[in-house]
Amino acid sequence: MQMVLGRAILLVGLVGCTSPLTSVDDSGLGVDSGGSDTGVTDDIASWDPYDGLVHDTACNDVSGSPVAGATGFFVGDFDVNGSNLQGVEEWVLFANPTWTQAGGPATSCFLRWNVVGTLGEPDSCVGCTHELTATGSFDADASNCPTALEEIEGVELDLKYFIQRRSSGEATWTFESGTTLGDGVVTSDRAAYVTDSACNWF
């Protein structure tokens, strides 16, 4: 079966998927335009984007027929120093039984891109507080998924995300198109996100 995979799914397939991030409470919170950590709780500052990521059994079959695939999430976690940003983006895949039986991972695997760039004021997004512009290089040594999956996303990435940060430190991340990428956090020294889940077929 042809692969239907990767970040492109996020542009068309997030409706009805589940997010591992606790729902953002917008009540009484305005958009925060700066990097102040006033109002940021310890839970937000130490938030783990990998917490709660699990396989979705809806990704076991297509119309009742078992198909090799996985539940996929994209995760970004970056250290921020002034306007400079450095960290990783990972494509985390939880294998379904059919993929495992066909030689895929027993449980899960990930592909990692090392990311460097900047985090600054947005140039074109009304209502956003931050803009992330960065490049990513595939890290074959750190990644543990079957080879060639990185070609779906690309060995080299050009990233541009817009962020709407709330005074709590919680944040909504979007693509340039305005489509939601995921939920996460932004503090004075960290920016992180996780996407909703998506089924990926191999």
Q: Nearest Cα to 141, choosing from 117, 178, 111, 170? A: 111
1-10, 59-68, 80-89, 91-100: least confidently modelled range: 1-10
CA atoms within 13 A on the CB side of 132: 32
Q: Quick check: 1 pLDDT over 60?
A: no
Phi/psi for 10 (5° steps) reads -65, -25
| Predicted TM-score (pTM) above 0.85 | no
Of residues 160, 158, 157, 74, the one with CA closest to residue 120: 160
If pLDDT is split at 50, 70 and 90, which confidence band does 137 have? very high
pLDDT, tens only, 25-46? 333 333 444 455 656 777 788 8
pLDDT for 28 equals 33
What is the structure's pLDDT at 12?
33
Domain boundaries defined on the chain: 9-18+32-201
